[in-house]
Structure 1
Amino acid sequence: MALKNMSAIETIDSSAAIPKSSISWVIVTIFVFSSLLVVNYLRPPDNRQLEEWGFVAVIDPSRIGSVHARHHEGHEINRDFFVGQWSLVFFGFTYCPDVCPMTLSVLKKVSVELGTDAPRVVMVSVDPERDTLPVLSQYIQAFSDEFHGLTGDMDQIQVLANEFHVVFAQSQSQENYMVNHTTNVGLINPRGEYVGHFRIPHRPEQIVRVLETLMQCHVAQLDDNPGRDCIARADLRCSCGIGPQCYGRCACSLNDQGA
Structure 2
Amino acid sequence: MQRRLFLSSLAALPFVAGTAHAAGFTAIDITGSSIGPDYQLFYGDGKPAALRDFKGKVVMLFFGFTQCPDVCPTALARAVEIKRLLGADGDKLQVVFVTVDPERDTAPLLAEYTRAFDPTFVAVRGNLEQTAKAAKDFKIFYRKVPSGSSYTMDHTALTYVFDTSGKVRLAMKHEETAQQCADDIRKLLNPKKDTGFLKGLFQ
Q: Shorter-chain-normalised TM-score: which range?
A: 0.7 to 0.9
How big is the alpha-carbon RMSD for the aligned residues of Structure 1 and Structure 2?
A: 2.4
Letter in 2 for 1:199: K
In the alignment, the residues of structure 2 paired with residue 115 and residue 146 of structure 1 have an alpha-carbon distance, to the nearest angstrom, of 15
Equivalent positions of 1:93-242 (< 5 A) are 93-118=65-90, 119-173=93-147, 175-217=149-191
SS of the aligned residue for 1:134 comes to helix
- Pairing 1:70–2:45 present: no
What residue number does 1:49 align with? 24
Q: Which amino acid aligns with 1:155?
A: E
Q: Deviations over 1:45-65 (max 9, x none)?
A: x62632xx2x00114245834
Mapped partners of 1:146, 1:152: distance in 2:
20
Secondary structure in 1 aligned to 2:120?
coil
Determine what percentage of the aligned residue pairs are the same residue. 27
- Residue by residue over 1:205-230, the C-alpha shift from the partner in whole angstroms, topping out at 9 and shown as x without a partner, is 10011111122116889xxxxxxxxx
Q: 1:129 to 1:217 in 2, by over 3 A?
A: same
Relative to its length, the structure with more helix (as a share) is: 1
Q: Deviations over 1:82-103 (max 9, x none)?
A: 4332100111100011111111
CA distance in 2 between counterparts of 1:85 and 1:176 reads 38
Deviation track 1:166-223 (CA, whole Å, cap 9, x = no partner) reads 11111134733100000011011122221121012031010011111122116889xx
Quick one: distance in 1 between partners of 2:35 and 2:75? 25
Query: For 2:190 and 2:141, how far apart are their aligned partners in 1?
Result: 31
Distance 1:73 1:143, change over 3 A: farther
Deviates most, 60-69 or 173-182:
60-69
What 5-or-longer segments of structure 2 have no aligned partner?
Answer: 1-20, 196-203
State the distance in 1 between where 2:145 and 2:115 align. Answer: 27
CA distance in 1, matches of 2:57, 2:153: 30
Q: Which moves more between the two structures, 202-211 or 79-88?
A: 79-88
Aligned counterparts of 1:47 and 1:178: Cα–Cα separation in 2: 37
Structure showing greater relative contact order (alpha-carbon pairs closer than 8 Å, 6 or more residues apart)? 2
**CA–CA distance in 1 between the matches of 2:172 and 2:105?**
24
SS of the aligned residue for 1:107 comes to helix
* Higher Rg: 1
* CA deviation map 1:113-146 (0-9, x unaligned): 2134231001100100000011111111000101
Alignment length, in residue pairs? 174
2:192 and 2:119 mapped to 1: Cα distance? Answer: 27
Question: What is the SS of the residue equivalent to 1:90?
Answer: strand
Q: Structure 1: which 5+ runs fail to align?
A: 1-45, 222-259
